[in-house]
Amino acid sequence: MKDIQIQNKEWLTPKQLEAEFGITIGAQNKMRLRKNYVNGTNIPFIKVGKRILYFRSDINAWLLSLRKGAK
C-alpha cells in the first residue's frame, strides 16, 4: 500500500499513531478487530478505501477512558 502523508494534524495514520503514542501497528490491528476487554470499546478509527485514519481527539478521549478508575 502507498505510504501517505496526512497534512491535517488532527488526523493520524497508523504509523503516526505508533510514533506519537507508542501503540504498534500490530496492536492497532488487534484493537480495531475486537472489543477492548477493559471497557468494551474498540480503538476509534475510520476507514477510507483501504486507508485507516485516527482522529487525534478521539484517540485522546479513548485513552483517557482506559485509565483505571475512570467512569
The DSSP H or E segment spanning 52 is strand 51-55
pTM of the entire structure?
0.77
C-alpha cell belonging to residue 19: 510514533
Could you give the dihedral angle defined by the CA atoms of residues 65, 56, 21 and 9, in that order, rounded to the nearest 10 degrees?
-170
C-alpha cell belonging to residue 2: 502507498
| pLDDT tens track for 4-28 | 555 678 999 999 999 999 999 999 9
The DSSP H or E segment spanning 51 is strand 51-55
| pLDDT tens track for 17-69 | 999 999 999 999 988 887 665 567 789 999 999 999 999 999 999 999 888 76
